[in-house]
Amino acid sequence: MKKVRRILGLESQPSPTCGQRRRVLAGLAAGMVCLSLPELAEAATRKGARTLAFTQLHTGESLSLVYRVGHAYIPRAFDRLRYLLRDFRTEQTHSMDPELYDLLWHLHREVDSNEPFEIISAYRSPQTNRMLRARSAHSGVAKHSLHMYGRAIDIRLADVHLAHLRHAAVSLKRGGVGYYPRSNFIHVDTGRVRYWGS
C-alpha cells in the first residue's frame, strides 16, 4: 500500500478517500491510453497498469493501449477497442466482455510475446455469423457463437508457435480454446472451460 501511495503522490498525506483514488486513477488512465509501446511497457511497470496491443488483419488497423489500472477499467480505452474489434464485414460494433481483455493480457504474459495480437475475428454480427455458417456444413461456426456476444476472439502471435499459444491458453483455464492449425489461429472465449481442435 505504501508503494501505491508513493506512486500516486499521496505518501505524506492522509489516506485518500474512494473519490480521491478514483480521480487519481482516472487522471493516470487518461494520460496512458495513447502512449507508444515502450512508454506503455514503462507505464505498466510503474503504475500497475495492464496493456494490450492488436493488429486487425482485415483492415490493417493497429492499436496499443492501457485498458486497466489496478481494478479500474478505462472507458475511453474500451471505446477504442470496441471499434477495432468490430465486425469488419458490416462495420457493426458491440461491447466486448472485460474478462476477455484480462484473458488476453494473461495469455500474452504467459507466452512472453513481444508482438501484438493479430486479430482474425472478434465481434461477429448475427448476419455475418449466419453467412459463415451457411458456407459449409462443417464450418465449425456455432449457431449461438460467443463472437456475437463480444465474448470471443480468434487470434495468433507472430513470435509464438501456434501449438504453444494453444497450450498456454488451455493452461489458463479461463474459458473455451479452439485450435485451428490449418487456418493458423486459435479461438479463445469467456464461456465455460472446454477445448476443441486437432
> CATH number of the domain at 34-196, please?
3.30.1380
CA distance 134 to 55: 28
Q: What is the pLDDT of residue 13?
A: 41
The whole-number average pLDDT for the span 39-54 is 73
Confidence of residue 142 (pLDDT cuts 50, 70, 90): confident
Domain locations in the chain? 34-196
Q: What is the pLDDT of residue 40?
A: 55
pTM, full prediction: 0.77
Q: What is the pLDDT of residue 141?
A: 81
Q: What is the pLDDT of residue 53?
A: 97
Grid cell of 169 as nine digits: 491458453
Q: What is the pLDDT of residue 45?
A: 59
Edge-to-edge strand order for the sheet containing 152-157?
Answer: 72-73, 62-69, 49-56, 117-121, 152-157, 185-189, 176-180, 194-196
